Amino acid sequence: MRVAIAGAGLAGLTCAKYLAQAGHKPIVFEARDVLGGKVAAWKDEDGDWYETGLHIFFGAYPNMLQLFQELKIEDRLQWKSHSMIFNQPNEPGTYSRFDFPDLPAPFNGVAAILSNNDMLTWSEKVSFGIGLIPAMLRGQEYVEECDKQSWSEWLRNHNIPERVNKEVFIAMSKALNFINPDEISSTVLLTALNRFLQEKNGSKMAFLDGAPPERLCEPIVEYIRSNGGEVFLNRPLKEIKLDEMNNVKSFIIGDKDENKTEEFFADAYVSAMPVDIFKRLIPSPWKELEIFEKLKGLKGVPVINIHMWFDRKLTDIDHLLFSRSDLLSVYADMSITCKEYEDKDRSMLELVFAPAKDWIGKSDQEIINATMTELEKLFPSHFTGTDQAKLRKFKVVKTPLSVYKAVPGCQELRPSQSTPIKNFFLTGDYTMQRYLASMEGAVLSGKLCASEIEKATQLRSRTS
Ligand SMILES: Cc1cc2nc3c(=O)[nH]c(=O)nc-3n(C[C@H](O)[C@H](O)[C@H](O)COP(=O)(O)OP(=O)(O)OC[C@H]3O[C@@H](n4cnc5c(N)ncnc54)[C@H](O)[C@@H]3O)c2cc1C
């Protein structure tokens, strides 16, 4: 069966990979000249990589880890010590750590929380622990019910002091969805906490050993091609054409190289585009169907990814850091954490700037100036006094509409991978799967989409 897929992000590529594995012929059309969507990266004039986002892989990503194994590239994940490291705003340049000992879950998580006395008091830990009991006992059903409340509301409803939010969860909320706890759905935080507390290595983090398009997306493309599929760059989906039954008749595909369009026919069609772009391409006769109508409520959140190359080493920490700064979310010294970006003498900081709503329209220089002020608090010894670290160069990558903004009420808006249109399917991190807007979510949605297409094929062959 020929399957046309629009979008070569992780969801589209994974969907194509599993379709090819099942003996179908996926043909992927990507609008841009680069693979990966939100994991896309480019080389600058010196050959240094810069990325759409600083990306962390977690132990709690079973489908992603299985994909790495199937592609025989597990050695490309660089696992770090099982810890979470937070900057201490009241003592600039210092850190507070949650270190997970080698114990089964949830004891390793409980031990990590209990042994950290810098950030939370004992009574705060106890009140938070009691608040989490329903999530641990009732699991996902409870977590889904909590989508009615923001994380700040959830904490207040459980009598957990606001200080807990300030100390730990502003940082986690910004890391998970680039917004603050007053806005984020409590389902997002509870999903992450449940995974981290229920799986021994759930919160263990890894960095890819190089840029995602080459180190992760290329091997998926090689698999697709060697199993009969195809992937084309610079080929945007322009229009979804319908037949007289309002099923898909064809995809109208643009060709940026030759400035023309072609009509492409297949047995099944998939949108693996971000939700904001797909919404613009929904054909009029479909607009009132509930599944597509609900998409109006899903909207990408702005985020900015910053790269700063310095003339010296600023840190020796080989890990992700939670900045706990007002402007920044997480950051890492990629010259240490990522093999391909290694520089023994000089740092390259990659920093996520969030929430970015008030900054996305500002100039790169304004964003860098604001970030430099934050760095004075994160690395005071390098940015005060006479011999200060010098910024050699920078790159700012803005994504005005990134992953869907996970505010309360979004869960029931997220579509399934199959749709009421019998030859049309959806994949993407925003479609319904339990890992929310993440690389794991994208991979799982691609796998679920391939399996829905497979089911539809079997149904068709039984009825014909
Ligand atoms: C700054 C940042 C940091 C992040 N950090 C993490 C992290 O640490 N860990 C984690 O798990 N996740 C992280 N994420 C989220 C993760 O990157 C996404 O959830 C995931 O990559 C989404 O994949 P996707 O395939 O669903 O969508 P996308 O990656 O958006 O792919 C959609 C593709 O469709 C293409 N497209 C658009 N229009 C068309 C068209 N008309 N025709 C054809 N193709 C089209 C796009 O170019 C793109 O390639 C981060 C995201 C950002 C932005």
Q: pLDDT for 338-367, tens place per residue?
A: 999 999 999 999 999 999 999 999 999 999
Let me know if 455 is exposed, middle or buried by CB neighbors in 10 A (0-12, 13-18, 19+): exposed
Q: Which tens digit of pLDDT belongs to each residue from 293-336?
A: 999 999 999 999 999 999 999 999 999 999 999 999 999 999 99
Please compute the mean of the pLDDT values over residues 399-416 and round it to a whole number: 98
What spatial distance separates the first Cα and last Cα of the chain, rounded to whole Å? 15
- For residues 331 and 351, what is the distance between their CA atoms, to the nearest angstrom? 4
Q: Is 420 helix (H, G, I), strand (E, B) or coil?
A: coil
Q: Buried b / exposed e across 71-108, counting CB within 10 Å, b at 16+?
A: bebeebbbebebbbbbbeeeeebebbbbebeeeebbeb
Is the CB of 275 inside a 6 Å radius of any atom of ligand 1?
no
**Positive/negative CA dihedral, 48, 54, 56, 62:** negative
Q: What is the CA radius of gyration of the chain?
A: 23
What is the tens place of the pLDDT at every residue in 2-49? 999 999 999 999 999 999 999 999 999 999 999 999 999 999 999 999
Any ligand 1 atom below 6 A from CB of 274: yes
pLDDT > 90 fraction of the chain, expressed in percent and rounded = 92
SS3 153: helix
CA distance 3 to 12: 11
Which CATH homologous superfamily contains domain 2-38+211-298+407-463? FAD/NAD(P)-binding domain (3.50.50.60)
Mutate to test the pocket of ligand 1, among 56, 273, 432 (most ligand atoms within 8 A of CB): 273
Evaluated on CA atoms 269, 272, 273, 279, the torsion sign reads positive
In which band, very low, low, confident or very high, does the pLDDT at 256 lie, cut at 50, 70 and 90? Answer: confident
Q: What is the mean pLDDT of residues 122-141?
A: 89
Report the alpha-carbon distance of residue 292 to residue 121 in Å, rounded: 47
Q: Among the atoms of ligand 1, which is closest to the Cα of residue 12?
A: 25
Among residues 329, 311, 398, the alpha carbon closest in space to that of 360 is found at 398
Tokens at 17, concatenated: 């990979």
One-letter identity of residue 251 = F
- The fold for domain 303-399 equals Polyamine Oxidase; Chain A, domain 2 (3.90.660)
Q: Is the CB of 30 under 6 A from ligand 1?
A: yes
CA distance 318 to 45: 27
Instruction: Decide: 29 in ligand 1 pocket, CB within 6 A.
Output: yes
Task: Answer yes or no: is the C-beta of 35 below 6 A from any ligand 1 atom.
Answer: no
Residue 457 in contact with residue 449, Cβ under 8 Å?
no
**pLDDT at residue 49, rounded to an integer:** 98
Counting from 1 in the atom list of ligand 1, the atom nearest the Cα of 38 is: 29
**Domain map (residue ranges) of the chain:** 2-38+211-298+407-463, 105-198, 303-399
Q: Residue 443 and residue 318: Cα distance in Å, rounded?
A: 27
HEC assignment per residue over 293-318 = HHHHHCCECCEEEEEEEECCCCCCCC
CA of 415 from ligand 1 middle (Å) equals: 17
- Average pLDDT for residues 229-258, to the nearest whole number? 96
CA distance 369 to 371: 5
Of the chain, the percentage scoring pLDDT greater than 70 comes to 100
Write down the mean pLDDT value for the chain.
96
Contact 243, 251 (CB under 8 A): no
The residue written with tokens 């449940």 in the block is 194
Planar angle of CA 99, 103, 109, nearest 5 degrees? 45
Burial classification of residue 45, based on how many CB atoms lie within 10 Å of its CB (0-12 exposed, 13-18 middle, 19 or more buried): exposed
Residue 464 pLDDT grade (very low, low, confident, very high; cuts 50, 70, 90): low
Fold matches, 2-38+211-298+407-463 and 303-399: no
Taking the centre of ligand 1 as the mean of its atom positions, its distance from the CA of residue 37, in whole angstroms, is 4
pLDDT at 428 exceeding the cut of 80: yes
pLDDT tens by residue, 81-109: 999 999 999 999 999 999 999 999 999 99
Question: Which residue puts its alpha carbon closest to atom 26 of ligand 1?
Answer: 428
pLDDT digits (tens, 9 = 90+) for 41-76: 999 999 999 999 999 999 999 999 999 999 999 999
Is the distance from the beta carbon of residue 350 to the nearest atom of ligand 1 less than 6 Å?
A: no
User: Tell me, what's the pLDDT at 29?
Assistant: 98
Residue with tokens 């094929």: 457
CA-237 nearest atom, ligand 1? 42
Phi, psi of 349, rounded to the nearest 5 degrees: -85, 135
